[in-house]
Amino acid sequence: MLSNEENELLTRTGPGTPMGEYFRRYWMPVLMASELPEADCPPVRVQVLGEKLVAFKDSDGNVGLLDEICPHRRASLFWGRNEEQGLRCVYHGWKFDTDGNCVDMPNEPAEYEFKRRVRTLAYPAQEYGGLIWAYMGPKELTPELPQFEWALVRPDQRAISKRFQETNYLQAVEGGIDSSHSNFLHATVDAFRLTPQYWESVKTWDSLRAKYHPKDKSPVFTTKRTDFGVLIGARRNAEEDSYYWRITQYLLPAYTMIPADPGKPINGHVWTPIDDEHCWAFSFTWTADGPLPPLPEDKNISQNGIGIHADVDPKTFKPLRNQYNDYMIDRQLQKTKTMTGILGTGEQDMAVQESMGICVDRSLERLGTSDTAIIAMRRVLLRELKALQEGKEPHAASHGSVYHVRSASAVIDRGQTFEEAARQITTIAG
C-alpha cells in the first residue's frame, strides 16, 4: 500500500505539482487526429493536466495549442474563427498564431503596434501516429516523440479509439498492468468454471490465451526495471515441461501494452490526465506486418465482450455504457454467460475502476503477490519523481527509441529464466 502522502504525490497532476511537472516532461496524446481533420477547421477544447486549452490547425496544417482564454478580456477562444494563419477571438478580433503571437489587433490603432507586445500561452503540438500530441514542459527540454510501433506503422495497420473516464489516471494505469484480473473480470462463466463446453469451443480457436489462461488463475509475476519503465512477466502453468508466459510493459509515464499470440494484433493504452478526477483513455490495436483484419460488419469490436475499444458518443467520447446507466449490465447474461454481464473489455475495466471512486485511497489496500507489477510501477514513479525534484531529467523522455518495444505471449520451456523467456518471446513475436 501507499501512504496518504505518497498517494497524493502520484495522483495530483495540476500545474506546480511534482507529478504534474513530471508529465510535462513528456509528449502526451491529447486529441484524435480526426478531431482536427483539415486546415482552418473549427477549434477544439482541450483540457489536460488541469489546464484549459484550445487546439486548432492553421492554414498550413500546423497544429496550435493555446490557452483557451483570450488575454484581452478573458473570453473563450473556442468561439474563435480559424482563418488565414491564426485563431481570431470573436469578441474584439484579436488573432493569434500557433506560437501564441498576436498577429492582428483590428480594434487598436496600427501605429501603436500594441500587438507586438501581446502574446498568449502556447504549447508545442503536432500530429503523429493518428493522434495530436502536446508538450507542456520547459521549451529548452523539448523531448523526442516516443517511437511506439503503433505510431510508426501505416494507418491501415492500426485502430485507435478514445474514451472519457471519471477517475484519476493512476488507477486506470494500474488496471492496465494487472494480468490476474482478466481471469475473472473479462472471463466467460464457462472459462471461469472450465466446463466441458469451454474446452470443446477452445478446439476451434487458434489462441494460446484461450488454452492456457483459464487453467492457472494465480500467475507468478516477475518484474524488471528498464529504461522505459517496467518489464512485466506473468507466468502460468502450461504442460508439465512448459510455462505460458505473458510479457508486457509499463511505459513511463502512463502507457501499457497487452500481450498477444505471435502474429496476432497487439493492443495497448495510454491514459492522459484531464485533471485529478478525469482522464482520457486512448486505446490502440495494431499489426506489425500487414493491414488489420476487417472488423465485424456492425463495426463494434466491443460488442463481443472482449474488445478494448469502448462504444462512445462520437462528439463527447463519453461511453454509451457508463456509471449513470450501470454500464447497461445484463444480470441474466452475468448469470449464464459472462462474469460481469457488461459488454466490452473497456467498459468492464471502467466499471470496476470508477467504482473505486474518483481517486482510490491506496492506504487502505491489502496487496498480494498478484499485485507485484503494480507495486513495481509505483516504486518506479516515486523514484522518477524524486530524481526530477533533485534536478535529474527523465531518461525515457529524451530517448524516444526506448518505446520501440512489443508485448507478446508464448509457451516456453520451464528451464528458461524470466530474462531468457522475455528474449525468446520477443524473437517469436518478430
pLDDT of residue 282: 97
Query: How far apart (Å, rounded) are the C-alpha atoms in residues 39 and 63?
Result: 9
Q: How many residues does the chain have?
A: 430
Which residues of the chain have a pLDDT value below 70? 295-306, 426-430
60-82 b/e (C-beta count within 10 Å ≥ 16 → b):
eebbbbbbbbbbbeebbbbebbb
> Which amino acid type is present at position 185?
L
Query: How far apart (Å, rounded) are the C-alpha atoms in residues 327 and 46?
Result: 26
Q: Provide the sign of the torsion angle of the four alpha carbons 169, 357, 232, 408, taken in this order.
A: negative
pLDDT of residue 429: 55
Query: How far apart (Å, rounded) are the C-alpha atoms in residues 295 and 298?
Result: 8
What count of other Cβ atoms lies within 10 Å of the Cβ of residue 176?
Answer: 28
pLDDT of residue 304: 40
Give every CB contact of residue 225 below 8 A, 6+ residues apart in sequence.
Answer: 376, 380
pLDDT over 90, % of the chain: 77
CATH fold for domain 27-141: Rieske Iron-sulfur Protein (2.102.10)
Domain boundaries defined on the chain: 27-141, 149-429
Angle at Cα 80 formed by Cα 77 and Cα 86, nearest 5°?
95
Question: Which CATH class for the 149-429 domain?
Answer: alpha beta
pLDDT of residue 419: 85
- Which of 216, 217, 191 minimizes the C-alpha distance to 202? 191
Please give the grid coordinates belonging to residue 271.
Answer: 491514459
Please state, rounded to an integer, the average pLDDT across all residues of the chain: 92
Query: How far apart (Å, rounded) are the C-alpha atoms in residues 322 and 67?
Result: 30
CA-CA-CA-CA dihedral for 90, 91, 92, 98, to nearest 10? -50
Q: What are the tens digits of pLDDT across the range 129-180?
A: 999 999 999 999 999 999 999 999 999 999 999 999 999 999 999 999 998 8
